[in-house]
Chains A and B, each alone.
Chain A
Amino acid sequence: MRTFTLALLAIVLALPALADESQIKLKPAPGVDKVEGNCAACHSLDYIQMNSPFMNAATWDAEVTKMIKAMGAPISDDDAKAIKEYLIKNYGG
């Protein structure tokens, strides 16, 4: 019903009550900055860990595509490619 600007989102991220996310540590590898910079705008990154390591190239590709096409995530083609590669390599089976 309501929408957030990125500025407001930063305030929400600063609230400890619902967003104690700082302890989430994704694997340090090429592309992790693209994942943190794009995916974390809408959801915490534990969704990635939770869905591992059973995902494969096809299912991670489908998931990132769904986030862009169905959920409206404003992710550039270059970033989407880097994110998919990172997820497949680091959180794939």
Chain B
Amino acid sequence: MITRRRLLEGASAGAALATMGVPLAEAAIPGLPEGLPAGDRGEAVLEALPGKKPLIKLAYRAPNYETPIEYFKTPITPNDAFFVRYHLSDIPAANDKLIDPKTWKVEIGGDGANGTLSLDLDDLSALPATEVVAVNQCSGNRRGLFSPHVPGVEWGYGAMGCARWKGARLKDVLDKVGLKKEAIEISFNGAEGPAFDKTPDFIKSIPVWKAIEDTTLIAYEMNGAPIPHLNGAPARIIVPGWTGTYWMKHIISIKALTKPQGGFWMKPAYRIPVGKFPIVARFITQEDATSTPITEMVINSLITSHADGGKVKAGSVTIGGIAWDGGYGIRSVDLSTDGGANWLKATLGQDLGRYAFRPFSLALPAKRGKLTVMARATNAIGQTQTATLIFNPAGYHHNVMHSVTLDVM
């Protein structure tokens, strides 16, 4: 485990500043984006949680750890490098009866259901299994790159990952209790909780139409293995195309509702201004005149073959990365080396499905000097990334085109 203290050994001035609590001008982790808040760059450290490789620690409690970019060179993110994000600090231990696979149960009910049901892991595994490769991305991924900065977890590029999820269809479970025709939303509660009674519990809902899609799952496997403790063991909700806020970890309660789910985490949290983003998927029962819940992910891409500031040999350089969207599918990725005046079409790689990371690559000529490469993805319905930030006060949906500047030697 690399700690900030250890990283600073030998840098006596930095160590002295650190013990005085003065924010460091230099990042403790090489390669952190310069656009992050100085305090974020100063306190972030590489640290390994139980069962995890060293990830970029942004906050210890509630734990928020992002995945370093190097793990996005492949379209599947390894379980032990998958980011960790919690809202509340009371996280059940792996052997807590609430989430121990031997004792775990999920309760199904609510005023919009015709009955109630309790399922254990054997019951869930006995239902027809579905697999989907899907990106799980925090709504606030890249929030730390907002200009001006906004309060929150100051994520860089790594509050996301893509995995092959396996589980039972939520639809099949809801069919077992039966939905009333008045049901409008399905709500989720997990086993994580707040430190104090008065802190709002993390409860989220999605519209019925999204809940009964064939790939909305109660998943119990991630990349062929049980879901890791800190990614929601033993079962979590998978909502392909939608941001991570709806992917409830450690699921223990599912309710069909005839009235909109209330609570802090539905409103005012996780909302975007009406009309600012090109969003197709709507959550009508939660909309108001000025704001709407965040729903599907906006189209995005990331260059992963080279770190910003990397050195390459003159001649040719192959630029690669990944692209993803809200599930319409990636049509193309284009690269520019002249600030967006001209674009070259990259070759798309392995297609793991419309909800997955889609790799891209292209060999570009590289002359001695600085080479800045920018990537722009386009999806099947013609949406593209933005050149300038679409500002919103909560810091969601950052999909400004990513670029890296290389030193060509």
B59-79 vs A, CB cutoff 8 Å, 1 = contact: the mask equals 111110000000000000000
| B350 at the A interface (CB under 8 A) | no
Residues from chain B with a CB closer than 8 A to the CB of A9 are: 195
Residues from chain A with a CB closer than 8 A to the CB of B18 are: 25
Residues from chain B with a CB closer than 8 A to the CB of A52 are: 23, 37-39
Interface contact B40-A50, CB-CB below 8 Å: yes
Residues from chain A with a CB closer than 8 A to the CB of B23 are: 49, 52-53
In the complex, A53→B23 CA distance in Å? Answer: 9
CB under 8 Å from chain A, chain B span 1-60: 3-5, 18-23, 37-40, 42-44, 47, 49-50, 57-60
A20-37 vs B, CB cutoff 8 Å, 1 = contact: the mask equals 110111111000000000
Question: Closest Cβ of chain A: how far from B61's Cβ, in Å?
Answer: 4
Interface contact A18-B60, CB-CB below 8 Å: yes
Given contacts A44-B59, A50-B39, contact A72 B151 (CB under 8 A): no
Residues from chain B with a CB closer than 8 A to the CB of A27 are: 20-22
Interface contact A1-B193, CB-CB below 8 Å: yes
In the complex, A78→B237 CA distance in Å? Answer: 42
Judged by DSSP, the binding face of A is loop
Residues from chain A with a CB closer than 8 A to the CB of B50 are: 17-18
| B209 at the A interface (CB under 8 A) | no
Interface contact B63-A24, CB-CB below 8 Å: no
Count residues of A near B (Cβ-Cβ below 8 Å): 39
Residues from chain A with a CB closer than 8 A to the CB of B101 are: none
In the complex, A82→B395 CA distance in Å? Answer: 28
In the complex, A28→B20 CA distance in Å? Answer: 7
Binds A, one of B86-94, B178-186, B271-279, B372-380: B86-94
| B252 at the A interface (CB under 8 A) | yes
Binds A, one of B198-206, B219-227, B281-289: B198-206
Interface contact A50-B153, CB-CB below 8 Å: yes
In the complex, A1→B251 CA distance in Å? Answer: 11
Which residue of chain A has its CB nearest to the CB of B153? A50
Which residue of chain A has its CB nearest to the CB of B198? A72
Which residue of chain A has its CB nearest to the CB of B22? A27
CB under 8 Å from chain B, chain A span 33-61: 41-44, 46-55, 59
Interface contact A70-B192, CB-CB below 8 Å: no
Interface contact A72-B200, CB-CB below 8 Å: yes
Which residue of chain A has its CB nearest to the CB of B148? A54
Given contacts A3-B194, A26-B21, contact A50 B49 (CB under 8 A): no
In the complex, A1→B202 CA distance in Å? Answer: 8
Interface contact B191-A18, CB-CB below 8 Å: no
In the complex, A74→B37 CA distance in Å? Answer: 29
Residues from chain B with a CB closer than 8 A to the CB of A73 are: 196, 198-199
Interface contact B20-A24, CB-CB below 8 Å: no
Kindly name the residue among B3, B40, B148, B192 whose own CB sees the greatest number of chain A CB atoms within 10 A. Answer: B40
Interface contact B195-A41, CB-CB below 8 Å: yes
Interface contact B37-A53, CB-CB below 8 Å: yes
In the complex, A46→B49 CA distance in Å? Answer: 17
Residues from chain A with a CB closer than 8 A to the CB of B47 are: 20
Which residue of chain A has its CB nearest to the CB of B154? A50
Residues from chain B with a CB closer than 8 A to the CB of A48 are: 39
| B245 at the A interface (CB under 8 A) | no
Kindly name the residue among B98, B149, B195 whose own CB sees the greatest number of chain A CB atoms within 10 A. Answer: B195
Interface contact A1-B89, CB-CB below 8 Å: no
Residues from chain A with a CB closer than 8 A to the CB of B199 are: 42, 71-73
| B122 at the A interface (CB under 8 A) | no
In the complex, 29 of the A-B residue pairs with CB atoms within 8 angstroms, ordered by the A residue number, are: A2-B92, A2-B98, A3-B197, A4-B90, A18-B61, A20-B60, A21-B60, A27-B22, A41-B195, A42-B196, A46-B58, A46-B60, A47-B153, A49-B39, A50-B39, A50-B43, A50-B44, A50-B58, A50-B59, A50-B153, A50-B154, A51-B152, A51-B154, A54-B149, A71-B194, A71-B198, A71-B200, A71-B264, A91-B39
Using a CB–CB distance below 8 Å, which chain B residues touch chain A?
Answer: 3-5, 18-23, 37-40, 42-44, 47, 49-50, 57-63, 89-92, 98, 148-149, 151-154, 189-201, 252-253, 264, 268
